[in-house]
Amino acid sequence: MDALLYSIPISLLLGGIGLAAFWWSIKNRQYDDPKGDAERILSDEFDDRPKQD
């Protein structure tokens, strides 16, 4: 049963990381244009570098 001492915290930690990633993606508005993003990946025009203002 010692394995539980490691595995439970690890599983919670992994879940927590997933939750944090989800939180980040919402904050960064990754779901604003799902359809557009799906199509953009097919476009041949790349913006290699971040836009310089």
Partner 1 sequence: MTVSPAPSRSVDEFEDEHVSASACPACIAAPSAEQMAKSGDIRGARIMLSLPTAHCAVCITDVERELMKQPGVKSARVNLTLKRASVDAESDVEAANLISALDRIGYEAHELDPGMLSATEADKRGRDLLMRIGVAGFAMMNIMMLSVAVWSGAEDTTRDLFHWISAAIAIPTTIFAAQPFFANAWAALRGGRLGMDVPISLAILLALGISLFETMHSGSHAYFEAATMLTFFLLVGRYLDYRTRAVARSAAEELAALEVPRATVLREGAEVVVPVGELVPGDLIRVRPGGRIPADGEVIEGHSESDRSVLTGESLPVQVAPGMVLSAGEVNLTGPLTIRVTAAGKDSSLHRMADLVAMAESAKTKYTSLAERAARLYAPIVHLLSFAAFCSWAWITGGDFRLAVNISAAVLIITCPCALGLAVPAVVTAASGKLFRKGLLIKDGTALERLAEVDTVVFDKTGTLTMGAPRPQNLSALSAEALSVAMALAEGSAHPLARALHDVALGQGAAPAILEDLREVPGYGVEGRWQGQTVRLGRANWIGAEDGATTATHLRIGNGAPIAITFADSLRPGAEEAVAGLKAQGKQVWLVSGDVEGAVSELAARLGIENYRSGALPLEKAQLVNDLTHEGHRVLMVGDGLNDTAALAAAHVSVSPASALDAARTASDIVLLGKELAPVADAASIAVRARRRIKENFGISIVYNIIAVPLALVGLATPLMAALAMSASSITVSLNSLRLR
Q: List strand residue ranges (DSSP E) for 2-53, in order.
A: none
From CA 31, how far away is CA 27, in angstroms rounded?
Answer: 10
On whether the CB atoms of residues 31 and 25 are closer than 8 A, the answer is: yes
Provide the minimum distance between the beta carbon of 47 and partner 1 in the complex, in angstroms, as a whole number. Answer: 5
- Burial of 11 (C-beta count, 10 Å sphere; 0-12/13-18/19+): exposed
1-53 positions binding partner 1, by CB under 8 A: 1, 4, 8, 11-12, 15-16, 18-19, 22-23, 26-27, 29, 31-36, 39-40, 42-43, 45, 47, 49-53
Q: What is the contact surface with partner 1 in residues (CB under 8 A)?
A: 1, 4, 8, 11-12, 15-16, 18-19, 22-23, 26-27, 29, 31-36, 39-40, 42-43, 45, 47, 49-53
